[in-house]
Chain A
Amino acid sequence: MTQMDVQPTAEQDEPARGLPGAGEPGVPPIVEMHDIHIAFGGVPALSGVHLRLFPGEVHALIGENGAGKSTMIKALTGVYSIDAGTIEVAGAEQTFSSPAASQAAGISTVYQEINLCTNLTVAENMMLGREPRRFGGINGRAMNHGARKTLDRLGLQIDPASQLGEHPIAVQQLVAIARAVDVDCKVLILDEPTSSLDADEVAKLFEVVRTLREQGVAIVFVSHFLDQIFEISDRMTVLRNGVLVGERITRDVTELELVQMMIGRDLEALERIDREVAASDAKESATPVLKAVHLGRKGSLEAVDLDVFEGEVIGVAGLLGSGRTELARLLFGADTADTGELHVRTKKHRFRSPRHAIDSKIAFSSENRRAEGVIEDLTVADNMLLALQATRGWLRPIPPATRNRLVTQYLEALDIRPANPNAVMRTLSGGNQQKVLLARWLITEPELLILDEPTRGIDIGAKTAIQALVAELARKGLAVVFISAELEEVLRLSDRLVVMRDRRKIEERPNHDVSVSDVLEIIAGEARQEETTDA
C-alpha cells in the first residue's frame, strides 16, 4: 500500500531543500525540522540536518551508532535544545523547552526500554497521569472504558483490567504504543521497538503501526534491522556522523544503496582502495588456536563454526546488530554459549566466565570502552596490570620492578600519552585509553586476541598505530579476531574474512582481492535472496 503520490518535485523556494529523489505527497508535512545544529561541549552531534514527516507515513530514521539518530529524536521531543535551526509542527514554528511541551504538540515517543509500571493494570498504565476522576477519586470504570476504546482503535485484544506484568514484553510494547497514541497524537516515534521481539511479535507490532498509519499518524521508525525498514517504511532519512546523507522513498532504494549511504563512500571510490597487507599465507597448522563448533546462544547468535589459526587475522564484518559483538563475547565467555563447543588447541573447554578464557590465553577488548574496559578512577599503571594481576590472584602482587618494567615498556611501545604511569585513567583521551587496554591484554601474553571495534571513536593517529600493531602482532604469531564497522579497516588487516548478518555468519572466505563493494554485496545480497525466498 502506498499513500504517497510521487510528484515531479515541485520544490518550494527553499534553497536548502535540495533533497534528491524525495517525492512530495499531496499534503504539507506535519513536522518539519530544518537545518538543525546541536553540539555537545563544542563537538557537533548534528550539523544542518533536515527531517520532514508527513501524516500517514512511516518514516525510517537510519544510521550507524553515533550517526545522530537519538540526538535528532531528542531534539524533536524537547529533551535537547537545538543550537540552530527551526522545528515546525503543523506549519507553526515551535521551540520545545521540555518533553512535556513536545507532547502537548502531539509528539509521542516509545523508547526501546519500556518505561511502564508492571505492577499496575493495562488501563492504569495507559491513563497514568491523566486518570478520569470522579468525586475526587479515580473513576476506575471510566478508565477501563477509555483504555478499551483506544485498544480497539488499534485492533488489540488486551484486557484493560489485567496486570501489565502478566503480559509478555511484546504486548507491553503494544500497550506503550497505545498509551502514546491515546492523547491527540500526530507523530509517534518508535525507537528500536523491535529489538527484543521475535518474528511473530514484530508482525503484530507492524499491524498496529499500519493501523496508525491509516489513521493519519506520522510514524518515525528507528531500527537497525534492514529488512524491517524495507518492510514497513514509506520514506527514509539517512544520517551519518551527524550529517544528513539523504531522504529517499523506500521503494526507490535498494539494500545495497542503503548500506552504502549508511557506511559512506560511493562504490567506485571504494573499489579504488588498495589493500595494504598482501594476504599472507595463513599458517594452517593442524590444530587451530581456537575452534568453535556450532557455538550459539538463544536470542543473540545462531550456531557458528569458526577456526582461528596462529598468526592469522580474522576480520569480522557486518552492520551493527549483525551478531559480530555477540560472536566475540561467546568466544571469550563474557556470555555463556548454550549450544556448541569450544576447543582451545586440542582441549575442549567450556567458558563459564571470562576468567576461564583468560586462563586459556584468550584476550578480549570490548567495543564499549567506557562501560566494559577502563577503570576510570584507577591509574594508567593499575589499568594496564589489572588482567595480569587478576590471573595471579590478590595474594601475589606484581613485584615493583616487574611492574615498572612492564608499564614503561608498554607506555613506550604504544606511545601512550601522557607517558605517566600514575595519571588517572579518566584524564586520558579515547585513543590513549584504548592503547592502555591493548597493553592490559598484551601483558597477559595471549595466544588469541579478540578486538571488538578497537579503533572506534579515536583519532586517526591512534587508529593507524593500533592497526600497525595488530599487523605486527599477527606477524609474530598471535591469532587475532578483528571486528570493526569500518570495512576498509577490516579488509586492510585481515587474512580471512567473516561476514555476519542478522545474527548469523553468512560468509567466510580468504581475503584475496576482496573489495569493500564485494562485502557490501555480500551483506545486501543475502537480503535479496531472502526477499525472493519469502515471496
Chain B
Amino acid sequence: MPETTSRWSTLASKPLVWPVLALVALLVVNLVATPSFLSLRMQDGHLYGNLIDILRNGAPVLLVAVGMTLVIATRGIDLSVGAVAAIAGAVACVYIAGAEGQGSAPTAIVACSLALGVCVLLGLWNGFLVSVLGIQPIIATLVLMTAGRGLAMLVTDGQITTVNNDTFAGLGVGFVATLPVAILVALAVFALTGLVTRRTALGMLIESVGINPEASRLAGVRARTISWTVYVFAAVCAGLAGLMIAGNTSAADANNAGLWIELDAILAVVIGGTSLAGGRFSLTGTLVGAMLIQTLATTIPNIGIPAQSNYLFKAVVVIVVCLVQSPKARAAFRVRRAGGSPLTAKAGTA
C-alpha cells in the first residue's frame, strides 16, 4: 500500500523528536499540576526553581551518561560506573578527613585529583579486560561493579565518612555566576566531549570501531587503543559524578553513593537514540535522555503519586520511547492502523 510521506512522518522518523516530545509533555503535566512549576527566582544572587533542581540533580547522571555514550558507541557497556563513583567519593573524603588543613581549598583540589587519578586506574583495568583480554564488556565491568563497592568500603573502613570542606561541598551545592556548580561542571564536560569527538576525528573512529571492528582494524584503525580509551574516559566521568554526589552531602557513603546510576546512564543513552549495538552516537540525545529521566523523577511526587512508584513509571516511559523510536515498531503500527495484514516475511531470508 502506498504511504504518502507527510511532513509529520518524516519528522517522526528523526531520532530526537520523541524524547524531546516526551520531555515537553512531562513539563506540561507538571505545569498543569503546579502552575508555578516553570518559574525561576533569584535569591542572594543564586538562581532557584524546579528547572534548576532538575538540572542540578540530573548532573551526575548526565556526566556518567556522557562517558557511557562513548563506551556504548564502541559496542561496549560499562556497568561499573556506580561503583567507580562511590570509590571516587570515598577516596576524596578519606583524604580530606585525614588531611591537616581539612577545610582548605588546596586540600579539596588534591583530594579530587587523587580521586580522579584512581578512576583513571580503574578505567584502565576495565579497558584492559575488554580490549586486551577480549572479555565481553558486560562481564568485564561486572567485576568492578561488584568488587568496586567493596573497594570503597575498604577505603572508608566501612564507615560513612563525613568531611567539612566548603570547596569540596561546593562541587555539589555551590554556585558560580548564579548557577549551581554541578550544572556548570556537567555541561562543561558535555560540551568538551562534543567538541573533542566532533572537531577531531575521534568520534568518527569510535563509530567506525563500533559499527565494524574488523573492517576498522583492517583499515588501520587502532581499535584496541580506542576502546581502551573510552573506558578510561567513562571512569573519569563517573569519578566526577561521584565527587559531586559526595560533595552534595559532604560525606562518602560506600554503599549508596551512585547506586543504580549505571542503569540511569544506560537508559539516558538509549532514550537519546544511541543503539546498544554500537555505532552512531548522539551526545545531544544523551543530554535529552538524562533530563527526561530526571524530570520524570521530579514529576511523580509533584503530581501526587508516591515516589516509590517512580521505577514503574520510568519503565513505562522507557518502553514507550524505545518503541516509538524503532522504525520497525512504527511500521508495524502503521500497517495495523491501515488495516493491512502484518508484514509477511519470508522465513530465513539470507
Contact = CB atoms under 8 A, between A and B. Distances in A.
Interface of A: 40-41, 70-71, 74, 79-81, 332, 334, 353-355, 358-359, 364, 366, 371-378, 382, 386-387, 389-398, 440
B207 A74 contact: no
Contacts of B219: 354, 386-387, 390, 440
Given A81-B346, A81-B347, 11 more contacts: A40-B350, A71-B350, A371-B214, A372-B212, A375-B212, A375-B216, A376-B212, A378-B207, A386-B216, A390-B216, A440-B219
Given A40-B349, A377-B211, A382 B220 contact: no
Contacts of A372: 212, 214-215, 218
A389 B280 contact: no
Contact of B204 (A40, A81, A359, A382): A382
B220 A391 contact: yes
Contacts of B200: 394-397
Contacts of A393: 201
Contacts of A440: 219
Given A355-B220, A394-B200, A374 B215 contact: yes
Contacts of A373: 215, 218
Nearest to A376: B211
Given A375-B211, A394-B205, A366 B349 contact: no
Contacts of B226: 394
A394 B208 contact: no
B221 interface: yes
Nearest to B205: A394
Contacts of A396: 200-201
A33 B348 CA distance: 20
A392 B207 contact: no
| Max chain B C-beta neighbours (<10 A), residue from A71, A79, A334, A377 | A377
Contacts of B218: 332, 334, 354, 364, 366, 372-373
B222 interface: yes
B217 interface: yes
B180 interface: no
| Max chain A C-beta neighbours (<10 A), residue from B199, B208, B215, B219 | B219
27 contacts: A41-B349, A79-B348, A80-B347, A332-B218, A353-B217, A358-B220, A366-B215, A366-B218, A371-B214, A371-B215, A372-B212, A372-B215, A373-B215, A375-B216, A377-B207, A377-B279, A382-B208, A386-B208, A387-B219, A387-B220, A389-B204, A389-B205, A390-B216, A390-B221, A394-B226, A395-B201, A398-B201
A309 B204 CA distance: 35
A40 B349 CA distance: 6
Interface in B215-250: 215-222, 226
B349 to A, nearest CB: 5
A427 to B, nearest CB: 14
B202 interface: yes
A114 B9 CA distance: 46
A398 B279 CA distance: 21
Nearest to B204: A382
A471 B258 CA distance: 62
Contacts of B280: 377
A80 B207 contact: no
B348 A397 contact: no
Given A390-B222, A395-B200, A374 B212 contact: yes
Contacts of A387: 219-220
Contacts of B202: 394
A445 to B, nearest CB: 13
Given A374-B215, A397-B200, A390 B346 contact: no
A378 B216 CA distance: 12
User: Would you list the 4 A-B pairs with minimal beta carbon distance, nearest first?
Assistant: A390-B220, A358-B220, A394-B202, A397-B201
| Max chain A C-beta neighbours (<10 A), residue from B202, B215, B279 | B215
A31 to B, nearest CB: 20
A372 B220 CA distance: 12
Contacts of A79: 347-348
A375 B215 contact: yes
A80 B346 CA distance: 9
Interface in B273-293: 279-280
A529 to B, nearest CB: 36
Contacts of B346: 40, 81
Contacts of B279: 377
Nearest to B229: A394
B221 A386 contact: yes
B145 to A, nearest CB: 26
A303 B118 CA distance: 49
A71 B346 CA distance: 14
A181 to B, nearest CB: 25
A414 B135 CA distance: 41
Nearest to B209: A375
A393 B205 CA distance: 9
A40 B220 CA distance: 35
A373 B218 CA distance: 8
Interface in B22-54: none
A394 B215 contact: no
Contacts of A397: 199-201
A376 B212 CA distance: 8
Interface string B144-183: 0000000000000000000000000000000000000000
Nearest to A71: B350
Nearest to B206: A394
A284 to B, nearest CB: 30
A71 B218 CA distance: 30
B215 A378 contact: no
Nearest to A386: B219
Given A41-B349, A79-B348, A390-B222, A378 B217 contact: no
| Max chain B C-beta neighbours (<10 A), residue from A70, A382, A440 | A382
Interface string B306-350: 000000000000000000000000000000000000000011111
Contacts of A392: 201
B282 to A, nearest CB: 13
